[in-house]
Amino acid sequence: MADLAITTQGLTRRFGHLTALENLDLSVKRGSFCALLGPNGAGKSTTFRLLLGLLRPTEGEGQILGTGLTSIRSELFQQVAYLADQPQLPRHVSARGYLAYVRPFYRSWDAALEQQLCEELAVPVDRRIATLSRGNRQKVALISCLAFRPRLLLLDEPFAGIDVAVRDQIVDSVLAGAGDRAMTVLLASHDLDEIERLVDQVVMLREGRCCLQEPTDQLLNRFRRVFVQLREPAATTPANPSFSEDWIQWRQDGARLELVHSHFDPARTERDLRQQLPNLEALSTAPMSLRDVIAAVSSPTRRPAPCP
């Protein structure tokens, strides 16, 4: 328990008849980089708000940095930073003025780090926030989240509406160094392109329910793209139900099939395939990127792979 930055048990939030989040059991290790994935309305922002104590859970409980979600006090935010998807910054002050406003709130504010981040991200600190581009505003908000060296950083869609150059800048300058700062990061996003190499753990929500929660390396080992060459084109609908649960997202082009196996094991994968496809001539496998795994799991045409 002590090595967990975030833990929830059966966390549920309902708004009237709408269940925004249902029975979430979440565990995020300290110092890890966890991606919270899911389509719009999956419950990502609700999860953040529950973790920050901005919403009270309808059912269930949880802790961040050892503090119960229902007993969060302002003192905890000396160690926790949150970047909303659309941060509401005061428009009438400069970025420098805003940072000066926030600075006294934090005992651990690192002015040198603030300066360094401003320079690395090339923030025009003397311009009024109202005149800054969305990307620059996002950078200012991010600096205000990082300069006090939080132990836990929650980022809700930090790249929404941000151009690629700024994304790369933020990822390279800021997020890549999170591990060095012993910071736990929970990041919600639609897109994993930029952070794939950083992510230690993936949690996927769909319609308020967790449909995937696994360390990244384990996930990447478990999923394989499988290419099958048949002797002749044939109907390939598998009769075995176990086949349909582990095997997802296939594509057929005459005698050639492309599948994804969600529980890859070289021997078992080949044995399953030969049982289901007697006219199999040859097969080959290829590792998948995290983005492809998530796309396969999210495929609306097939049932997602269950959490192990």
Contacting positions for other proteins (CB under 8 A): 49, 52, 54, 74-78, 80-82, 84, 87-90, 92, 98, 101-102, 104-106, 141
- Beta strand 59-64 with 67-68 is antiparallel
For the CB of residue 265, give the shortest distance to other proteins in the complex, in Å: 44
Residue whose entry in the numeric block shows the structure tokens 């925004």 = 20
> 177: burial class by Cβ within 10 Å (0-12, 13-18, 19+)?
exposed
> Toward other proteins, which CB reaches closer, 92 or 127?
92
Q: Of 72, 84, 57, which is closest to residue 208 (Cα–Cα)?
A: 57
Cα–Cα distance measured from residue 248 to residue 9, given in angstroms and rounded to the nearest whole number: 29
What is the DSSP annotation of 166-181? HHHHHHHHTGGGTTTT
Report d(CA 197, CA 190) in Å as an integer.
Answer: 16
Q: How far is the CB of 107 from other proteins (least distance, A)?
A: 8
Q: Select 123 or 294, whichever has its Cβ closest to other proteins.
A: 123
Shortest distance in whole angstroms from residue 76 CB to other proteins: 8
Q: Which is nearer to other proteins, 92 or 303 (CB)?
A: 92
136 contacts: CB under 8 Å, gap ≥ 6: 95, 123, 124
Question: Considering the complex, what minimum distance in angstroms separates the CB of residue 39 from other proteins?
Answer: 22
Q: Among residues 101 and 161, whose Cβ is nearest to other proteins?
A: 101
> Shortest distance, CB of residue 110 to other proteins, whole angstroms?
15
List the Cα angle 122/124/125 in 5-degree steps: 110
How far is Cα 170 from Cα 298, in angstroms, rounded to an integer? 27
* Smallest gap from residue 290 Cβ to other proteins (A): 29
Q: Which of 31, 29, 24 is nearest to 10 (CA)?
A: 24
User: Which C-beta is closer to other proteins: that of 71 or that of 301?
Assistant: 71
CB of 104 to other proteins, least distance (A): 5
